[in-house]
Chain A
Amino acid sequence: KQEVTQIPAALSVPEGENLVLNCSFTDSAIYNLQWFRQDPGKGLTSLLLIQSSQREQTSGRLNASLDKSSGRSTLYIAASQPGDSATYLCAVRGNTDKLIFGTGTRLQVFP
């Protein structure tokens, strides 16, 4: 059974810092991995999608890497801003249709 864990569970940093959020999964036979952002009481916004054959994806200040063999992904946020405050979720898709979500990292960026 696939299990997805995210570390740290919560993070509070001053504005401007570069951040690394970690995601690990137990079954390396994944189809793709996705990072999402969730604001309090809201739905999910997809940030980056990495196919199993890819090593990384970039979008603006965000960079996600994938090391499938070791079951790890990282989300790098450059020059963090207060508007980045949210919960970040990673999710993996195996050979089924199902997305298995991680436990999330609650990020707070203060001015």
Chain B
Amino acid sequence: GAVVSQHPSWVICKSGTSVKIECRSLDFQATTMFWYRQFPKQSLMLMATSNEGSKATYEQGVEKDKFLINHASLTLSTLTVTSAHPEDSSFYICSARREGGWRETQYFGPGTRLLVL
């Protein structure tokens, strides 16, 4: 099956620092990757859609200058939380979309837990 990895799995940082999260599709090419955020006991909220070689598309209310997304290759997308604050503490999950005709689906990474002190 398709595997998506995330690194790191968890990170603790001081307020004001920047944190980079990597998302990799290990055994398939993903022209599109998605970044979600999940607060405790809530569902996943889409933050942005990342397309290889082009600028990411952000959802309404998500600051593109704060959450920098780079999708430089068909297997790697990165999310950088710039000048992180305690309210950015959350569970960040990426997903890679495998193109395969009508059975296309998204494969999810294991998530990265961010705690900003």
Kindly identify, within residues 28 to 50 of chain A, every residue whose CB is under 8 Å from any CB belonging to chain B: 32, 34, 36, 41-46, 49
A46 touches B107 (CB 8 A): yes
Distance from A86 Cβ to chain B, minimum over Cβ atoms (Å): 14
Whether, in the assembled complex, B62 has its beta carbon less than 8 Å from a beta carbon of chain A, the answer is: no
State whether A99 and B106 are in contact (beta carbons under 8 Å apart), knowing that A43-B93, A89-B44 are contacts in the complex: yes
Over the window 83-103 of chain A, the binary record of Cβ atoms lying under 8 Å from chain B Cβ atoms (1 yes, 0 no) is 000000100000001111111
Dominant secondary structure of chain B at its interface with chain A = strand
- Please determine whether A97 and B32 come into contact, CB atoms closer than 8 angstroms: yes
Interface size on A, residues (CB 8 A): 20
| B110→A42 contact, CB < 8 A | yes
Whether A43 contacts B43 in the complex (CB less than 8 A), given A51-B102, A98-B49, comes out as no
Contacts A41-B113, A42-B111, A97-B32 given: A103-B43 contact, CB under 8 Å?
Answer: yes
- Does B108 touch A at the CB level, under 8 Å? yes
CB-defined contacts of B32 to chain A, threshold 8 Å: 97
Question: Cβ of A49 and Cβ of B93 under 8 Å apart?
Answer: no
Q: Mark B75-99, 1 if CB is under 8 A from A, else 0.
A: 0000000000000000101010100
Q: List 6 A-B contacts (CB under 8 A).
A: A43-B6, A46-B108, A49-B105, A97-B34, A98-B49, A101-B44
Q: Please give the residue numbers on chain A whose beta carbons come within 8 Å of chain B beta carbons, in ascending order.
A: 32, 34, 36, 41-46, 49, 51, 89, 97-104
